[in-house]
Structures are given as C-alpha cells and as structure tokens.
Amino acid sequence: MKCAVCRREQASKCCGRCGERFYCSAKCQKDDWRRHKSSCVGLEDAIEAASARGRTLFADVETEPGSTCWVCCEPGNLVRGGCACRGNAGCAHVTCFVEVAVADAKRYDQSSWIRCPTCKQKYIGVVELELSLACWKRWRSADGEKRLASETMLASALYRIKEHAVAIRILRRSIHVARRLYGEDHNEVYAVHGNIAFGLFMLGRHVEALALQRQVLAWREARLGATHLDTLRTKENMAGYLLMMIKTTTEEEEEEQPLARTAERYMRESVAARLEIQGPDHRDTLVARVSLAQTLHRTRKLDEARTILLPAVDAMRRILGPDHFETAGAVGLLRRLQRDTTTGADSSS
C-alpha cells in the first residue's frame, strides 16, 4: 500500500475508523485528517449496512409447513441452514442458530461457527451471514487468532452476498493482524492476500487481482509444495479467474486462448492431486472435478467434460444430497453440457 499523503510504498498504518486510508507515519495520518474526515465511514457502520442489505436477499425464504425449530422446538419464521439435514433437523429460527453458536465460547473459527453440528456441512444464506456477524462482534476487539478467523469468516459471508468492497475493507485490516501474529512470511498472511484478490477481481480490478493471486501461488508452491491443499486451492482460484476473463470459447479460437489453457492446466493438476490425497468422494475433490468439467466446457472439450462430470454429479447426490447448492450447480452444468453436445451434433449433421 502507498501512503495517502507522501505516496511512499509499504505504508503500514491505516485509518482506525474506516480502514481505507493507509499511511507511512502518524504525522502523515494527522496531516491528512482534515481532508479525509468528510469521507471517512466507520467500518462497523459499513458492515451493518451491508448485512442489512444482505438480509433482504433472504427475506422470502420459507420452510415446509409444520416444521419446528430444532433448538427451541417452536414453529414460525424458520429458515434452513443449507446443510444436508432434512426435515425439522435442518430448520431453526435465525436467532436460535446464533444462540447455539454464541453459547459455546470455543466456537470462534470457521469450522465450528458456521457448520451444522449434526451433518458438519457449512451453513449458507442468511444463517451463514448472521452467524458470521455474531462471531465477528464477539471477537472484533481482540487482537489474535480469534479476531483473524472471525474477520475472514465475515468477509466470506459478505462476498457471498456481493458486498465485495466492504469485505475487502475487513480483510485489509486482517492483514495487519496476521502480520503481527505470524510475521510477513507466513501462509496465513498470504491467505488474506488471496481473499483480497478475489474481491478485487469481482470489483473488476482484474490486473491487480491476478498479480496478487500469482504472488500467493508462487509463495505457496515454493514454501508449501505443489500438492499442498492450500496450493491446490490457489490454483483452482486462479483457474476460475482466468475462465471469467475468457470472452471467446469457440474451438477454432482455442489455440489463441492462453488463459483457457492455463486454467485447464491448473485444474488438471488440482484434480489429480486431490484424487490421490483426499480420494474420489471427498467434497473438495468433487468440487474440483466439477470445476475441471466447467473448464473443459469453456474450451469446447464437451465429451471429456461430460465423462468427468457424470460420476461427480452422482457422487454429489449421494454424499451432499440432491438439494445441496453445489449439487444443484453441478446438475445445471450437466444440463448445459448435454444441450451443447446435442446442438453440436445437430449442426455437424
């Protein structure tokens, strides 16, 4: 980051209220306040406003008639957490979801706060948003791993409701927490950089996002190894960014698409490693196989994409359930593949 006043590189201080302006010294920050204060919006206010907008996205979510809350056993205004639980086991009041998480003070990280205690799958929708917000409020005044985990979790929830700018503001604060905890040369610091890269990409700042993500990938390949799970996740993210940048997908233009070839290489490497390390039925392996099929679909390798996708869809239905959002996404991709395969066969005949 550059200092907002003198433009010096590697400004390590930021405005404590908004987290948006960076400075190299207390003097520069003080000199800038008269100009900055009119546009300085507190991060807490921005988070509350973003969360309120997010709640409206889920306002019409309903559950089956006769369902009762699995926490308080009362009906009315229930939501599903989006996990694999069925029937009453998966429905609860939003406030009850939050109370269960808050009641256990040990649940401060992503794996416990936003995962169903029954089926261990991650909550989605308004439940993920509210649990993430509650976790952040509990630990935002701390300055350790609990705060870092809560900020990462809240940023992910805000990304999911397309509040990218607010999420980036949170993560830029998290960078300073991670550096104080681990130093500059640590995987947790690069994890935050990777999360920021996603937000930058979704805001249309593609060049900046790809440059940052390449730094993360290079560091992880060098320090963690090519088959480390974090390295594989970074490759998958890079492949996703590259695919979104591809504007043409016809077979004749494939040789002119280095982005597509690079994305395909990343996904093939990731799937091969996950099959060996995690096995064919692991959720992350299944998701990676779907992503590889999507990559092959974009590069018009339809037959191979369908061959990879069919067993992945069957496994997702069996393991995650037919109503899981990732299963639904894979089924949608399969339908598009079948449609495009049929269209291609008709046009060739």
Name beta bridge partners: 79.
92
Give the pLDDT of residue 85. Answer: 66
Residue 293 has pLDDT above 90, yes or no: yes
Assess whether 83 and 155 both reside in one domain: yes
Give the pLDDT of residue 71. Answer: 83
Q: What is the pLDDT of residues 14-67, one digit of tens each?
A: 787 777 788 888 899 989 888 888 777 778 888 999 999 988 887 655 556 677
CATH of the domain at 269: 1.25.40.10
Of 57, 197, 201, 71, which Cα lies nearest the Cα of 130? 57
Assess whether 241 and 265 both reside in one domain: yes
Residue 14, phi then psi, degrees to nearest 5: -135, 160
Average pLDDT over the chain, rounded to an integer:
85
pTM, rounded to two decimals = 0.78
Mean pLDDT, residues 114-126 taken together: 78
Assess whether 53 and 159 both reside in one domain: yes
Residue 196, phi then psi, degrees to nearest 5: -65, -40
Give the pLDDT of residue 13. Answer: 78
**Count of structural domains within the chain:** 3
Which one-letter DSSP state was computed for residue 121? P
| Domain span holding position 48 | 43-183
Assess whether 117 and 156 both reside in one domain: yes
- Contact between residue 84 and residue 106 where contact means Cβ atoms under 8 Å apart: no
Q: What is the pLDDT of residues 78-91, one digit of tens each?
A: 877 766 665 445 68
The DSSP string of 239-290 is HHHHHHH-----GGGGGG-HHHHHHHHHHHHHHHHHHHHT-TTSHHHHHHHH
Mean pLDDT, residues 126-150 taken together: 86
Q: What is the pLDDT of residues 217-250, one digit of tens each?
A: 999 999 999 999 999 999 999 999 998 887 544 4
Of the segments 206-210, 271-275, 334-338, which one has the largest average pLDDT value? 271-275
Q: If residue 128 lies in a helix (H) or strand (E), which one and from where to where?
A: helix 125-139
- Residue 198's contacts (CB-CB under 8 Å, 6 or more residues apart) are 159, 209, 237
Tokens for 200? 């930058």
Give the pLDDT of residue 344. Answer: 64
Assess whether 13 and 29 both reside in one domain: yes
Residue with tokens 């261990």: 120
Assess whether 96 and 83 both reside in one domain: yes
Assess whether 277 and 335 both reside in one domain: yes
Residue 184, phi then psi, degrees to nearest 5: -70, -40
Residue with tokens 């997908």: 249
Residue with tokens 């300055």: 143
